[in-house]
Amino acid sequence: MKRFFLFISFFFFFQNIFSQIAIGEWRDHLSYTYGINVEYAGQRIYNLTKGGLFYLDLNSYSLEKLTKVTGLSDVTATTIKYSSSQDLLIVGYANGNIDLISTNTIYNLPDIKHKQMAADKTIYNIYVENSTAYICTGFGIVVVNLERKEVKDTYIIGPAGTYLAVYDFDSDGTYYYAATQKGIYKALTSDPGLVDFSKWTRIETIPNYSNKFNSIKAYNGALYAALDLSNWNEDTVYKYDGSIWLKYKDDLIKNVQRIEVSSNKLFIVEPYRIYSLTETGQDRYYYAYTNGLSYPKDVVMGPSDRIWIADAIAGLVYKYYSQETWYSTFPNGPISTNAFAIASGGDNVVAVAGGRNISWGNLWSYGQFYKFENEQWSNFTKTNIPDLIKMPDICSVVINPDNPNQYYVGSYGGGIVEMNGGQFVNYFNEENSTLQNISSTVGEPYIRIGGMNFDKESNLWVTNCGVDNSISVRKKDGTWKGFNLKNYINAGELA
């Protein structure tokens, strides 16, 4: 079907907004709320998020961001690991790149990234043993000499020397263990020929031995391995006591993010909680709620029995081991890594986080947007604007040129929200405007806003997709008028 597109033009004037950076310089505005990995490194707590990497200085309790602008060699970091013997933070990336970070220096190790090979180069995990790092990748294990800062070996451990994704790696002193896409493999630590795939054997005494395992840890004379199945509540942790593999806490633990060992404690990370086990057999659950929400992804114990968590909602979450009050912190920035449209006016920048699929259908993303003003980002979600729960896929934003504090965000399915001075003003739908609902079912709003713009007389013009009143205008006096275009175009042709 032919479509006609109404293009809404925005003119960006960033001189005032970004007056604190020089012409020609760049700076980033990243989201640091979705934590992935956390590492304790002396006087720093590093937290890797989907948006980037930051650390908390334990002396000053200040936050510092590490980005490509400030010296990292790449973007899209996937995992981090700290080497205490070398005082290095190892950063792995989705393209196989590696950074080694000391206190004031970043050393790049691009060997995997530059290697010409038809394989998944994603770095999934890192295991450190003295001055050696074992890099878990989508094709096998890459061994790095941290002291010399060079690749030492590569273990391709799949059947007949084929590539095999490795998600975790550990050792009990006698064997190395690799949790892979197709089961758990082991090899003797004393064997000098581990580049030979035949030295690696799959453990077939564990149930579901040919399936994906995402974690394996040696702890207190036993092995713990996590079977990672695709459906909710189907994961299983198995424990090997030296003679037999048995399910571990299978009545309680069913969704495993990862297994970690830190400060002589075993941690099993699940959505919404963390299970902990001590060497004396004491166990407990942590529910790391901050503002009523919790989604832990990784955990580490620091000094003074303080527990640190990479959380997918609250960034870096922490508390003392014996206390019950949780705290969270992350650098100021947009709440999400998603950005679909952006507008500027005066000293304000507003970005929206929605989107549409390739067929101009809904993605059903949460209604949220972000405002940058006075060097700070403010985030707006259903938490502080309840009407946003009715506004999926916010795809359009416009700032009133006569009043830069007033702006409108449009949802591809839920109408329009008016903001002024950082405060919610109004929510427009078919009940209080000329906007029309595609759905005929009462109580099921489906108002697709395509684009918005102001004319020179400060009237707000809106495209309303899939209905007869394809164009509406909100006049300066607050009244609405709709324009029925069904004799000229078919419903759905104007986006």
The answer to whether residues 489 and 468 touch, using CB atoms and an 8 Å cutoff, is no
Residue 443, pLDDT score: 58
Q: What is the pTM of this model?
A: 0.88
The lowest-confidence range among 11-20, 192-201, 267-276 is 11-20
What is the per-residue pLDDT for 1?
A: 39
pLDDT digits (tens, 9 = 90+) for 196-212: 999 999 999 999 999 99
Q: How confident is the model at residue 116 (pLDDT cuts 50, 70, 90)?
A: very high
pLDDT score, position 34: 95
pLDDT beyond 60 at 7? no
The answer on pLDDT for 17 being more than 90 is no
The string of pLDDT tens digits covering residues 222-270 is 999 999 998 999 999 999 999 999 999 999 999 999 999 999 999 999 9
**At residue 322, does pLDDT exceed 60?**
yes
Pair of tokens at residue 65: 């961001």
- Of 200-204, 325-329, 349-353, the range with the lowest mean pLDDT is 325-329
Give the domains, in start order, of the chain with CATH numbers: 35-329 (2.130.10.10), 341-483 (2.120.10.30)
Taking 50 as the threshold, does the pLDDT of residue 145 lie above it?
yes
Mean pLDDT of 123-148: 98
Q: What is the rounded CA–CA span in Å between residue 454 and residue 463?
A: 12
> How confident is the model over 400-440, as pLDDT tens digits?
999 999 999 999 999 999 999 999 999 999 999 999 998 77
**142 and 113 in contact (C-beta within 8 Å)?**
no
| Terminal C-alpha separation, the chain | 13
Task: Please tell me the predicted confidence (pLDDT) of residue 436.
Answer: 93
Rounded Cα gap, residues 210 and 218, in angstroms: 20
pLDDT at residue 323 in the model: 78
Q: Tell whether the model's pLDDT for residue 10 goes beyond 70.
A: no
Evaluate if residue 311 carries a pLDDT over 90: yes
pLDDT band at 491 (very low <50, low <70, confident <90, very high): low
Distance CA 299, CA 467 (A): 50
The proportion of the chain whose per-residue pLDDT surpasses 90, expressed as a percent, equals: 82
- Residue 15 pLDDT > 60: no
Rounded to a whole number of angstroms, the CA Rg of the chain reads 26
pLDDT attached to residue 3: 42
Listed range (52-56, 65-69, 301-305) with the worst mean pLDDT: 301-305
**9 pLDDT higher than 50:** no
What is the rounded CA–CA span in Å between residue 475 and residue 458?
Answer: 7
